[in-house]
């Protein structure tokens, strides 16, 4: 009887050991998946931020339209500007600065920001797609807000709407990965704080 009981306990111990091992392995794999996916999301958010900053520099405002942003990346041009300053001392001892801007030419947005050297696997059509989301797009927002001083500033926000990390869901925690803000003039991502 004790031999049967010993064999039965041994089988139960092996089963519990395997269950514990499998549970830990699953948690580790899930954590690796979350980390890997968030790194890919952050990389895309940085690319979109670069595109929005260039768009705003050329067009004077941010865009909330994916077609406009993608078209700008594909065919848009950025000016190459040289800034020269000259300081002149006036008769009464004060300094006066004269600033000259010379436009030297243009460069393609795609060649400048998304070249092969910087992003060897860049795919323009996939830029708005959230990694690991099966085709969902980042939420793209752009507007102008009035600050307390009465100044009107451009703002944009790009947000991950397919949150894979349970710590970023809901009202508790850092929230979904995003770059920019709807209420502040910033181009920082919430992972950079």
Reported confidence tier of residue 172, pLDDT bands at 50, 70, 90: low
**What are the pLDDT digits (tens) for 92-147?**
888 899 999 898 888 999 988 998 898 888 999 999 999 988 889 999 999 999 98
| pLDDT of 170 | 67
pTM: 0.78
Residue pair 70/48 in contact by the 8 Å Cβ criterion: no
| pLDDT of 90 | 85
3-state secondary structure 42-70: HHHHHHHHHHHHHHHHHHCCCCCCHHHHH
| pLDDT of 27 | 85
- Rounded CA separation 136/84 (Å): 46
Full DSSP string of 72-87: HHHH-EEEEEEEEEEE
Reported confidence tier of residue 175, pLDDT bands at 50, 70, 90: confident
Reported confidence tier of residue 171, pLDDT bands at 50, 70, 90: low
Can you tell me the mean pLDDT for 38-59?
Answer: 93
């Amino acid at each position: 009887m004790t031999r049967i009981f010993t064999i039965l306990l041994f089988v139960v111990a092996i089963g519990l050991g395997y269950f514990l091992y499998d549970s830990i392995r699953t948690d580790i794999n899930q954590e690796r998946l979350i980390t890997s996916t968030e790194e890919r999301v952050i990389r895309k958010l940085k690319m979109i931020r670069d595109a929005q900053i260039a768009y705003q520099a050329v067009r004077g405002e941010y865009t909330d339209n994916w077609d406009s942003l993608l078209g700008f990346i594909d065919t848009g041009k950025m000016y190459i500007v040289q800034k020269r300053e000259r300081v002149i001392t006036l008769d009464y001892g004060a300094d006066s600065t004269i600033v000259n801007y010379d436009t030297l030419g243009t460069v393609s947005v795609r060649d400048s920001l998304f070249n092969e050297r910087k992003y060897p696997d860049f795919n323009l059509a996939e830029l708005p797609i959230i990694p690991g989301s099966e085709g969902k797009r980042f939420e793209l927002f752009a507007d102008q807000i009035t600050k307390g001083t009465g100044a009107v500033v451009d703002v944009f926000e790009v947000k991950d709407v397919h949150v894979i990390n349970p710590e970023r869901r809901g009202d508790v925690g850092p929230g979904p990965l995003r770059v920019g803000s709807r209420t502040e003039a910033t181009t920082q991502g919430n992972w950079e704080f």
